[in-house]
Each structure stands twice: as structure tokens, then as C-alpha cells.
Amino acid sequence: MATGWIVLIVLVVLFIYVISIYNRLVQLKNQFANAFAQIEVQLKRRYDLIPNLVETAKAYMSHERETLEAVISARNQAAQALPAAKQNPTDASAMSQLGQAEGALGNALGRLNVVMEAYPDLKANQNMMQLSEELTSTENRVAFARQAYNDAVMNYNTYRQSFPPVVFAGMFGHASDASLLEFEDSAAIQAAPKVSF
């Protein structure tokens, strides 16, 4: 009879422990989903600012049409990639597409900034200065939100991969790792710059 009670107590403790693993997985998944929602807010703000920036620049940079169109095209591609990533942040393909689209947008904005340097009147325009400041502030917010998201993903993945949660994760619908969100091409960052004279 005493062994029956011991077995029952062990089973209850094991059951409670498995429930705590499930709850922790759900908590960590919700944390990185919330962190992605913060990125989404900042990216949408960024996408809303870009057309205003381009419209302001158009009056001054009429013969730089190609650069302006590249910025708008990159903005539209990034805006189209965001919903798929939002719907399933654990989808590595969707996160990769968003990261590539955001990288392309960053490059297009960088080219626009370089071209704007040749237009002192544009740089001095009050509306352009305000839009540039808002865009810079938004870029900083995006970077901060992306770091928070990547930290939450790392916590989730670490817990999901550790023992014993790894034994139960697949059964609880947590079969795959969440993907980090990177806006840069890490291979290009790792490569040494080439300089020629």
C-alpha cells in the first residue's frame, strides 16, 4: 500500500513538472510573439514615413528619379513581407524574406542619403529635416525592438532545446526553433572589405 502512494506521488509530481514545462514554452513563445509585434509597429511607422520623405525629395531631385523609385520599390517589398512574418514568426523562410527585404530597404535609403548630400537646399528644407529626424528615430526604435525580439527568440530556443523540455516540446506544438530576425547579410558583414587603388 505504501508503494502505491509513493508511485502516485511520483506521478503527480511528474505531471505537475510536465505542466510547468508546457506553461514555460507557451510563456516564452508569447514573449517573442509580443516582441515581434513591437517590431511590426516600428516597421509600419517606417513604411509610412518613407513616401513622405520621397515626395519631399522629388521637388529637388527630379533627375534622380531612379533612386527615388528604388526606395519606394524596396519599401513596398518590405511592407509585403511583413504580414507573412507576423503571421508565423517561427517560419524561417518568412523571417528570412523580411530580413532580406529590410536589408534592401536599408540599402536604398542609404543610396538616397548619399544622393541627398548633393542637394544643400533639400537638406536645409524644414520638412525634409523633420522627416529625416523622424526616420532616424524610427530606425533606432526598429533596432532596439529587433534586439528585444532576438533576445526573446534566443530564450525560447534555449529552453526548447534543453533537457527535459526538448522531450516534450514536439508533443506540445513547439517542434521547431523560432528564427532570429537579421536585416543584414551576415556573410557580407563577415567578409573583409576589398580595397583597390
pTM: 0.76
With a cut of 70, list the residues of the chain below it in pLDDT.
Answer: 63, 184-197
The dihedral of CA 106, 72, 133, 35: what is its sign?
A: negative
The pLDDT, as a whole number, for residue 68 is 86
The pLDDT, as a whole number, for residue 29 is 92
The pLDDT, as a whole number, for residue 9 is 93
Task: Give how far Cα 70 sits from Cα of 11, 106, 112, 168, Å.
Answer: 62, 11, 9, 47
The pLDDT, as a whole number, for residue 184 is 65
The pLDDT, as a whole number, for residue 73 is 93
Q: Walk me through the domains of the chain, giving residue ranges and CATH numbers.
A: 28-174 (1.20.1440.20)
The pLDDT, as a whole number, for residue 36 is 92
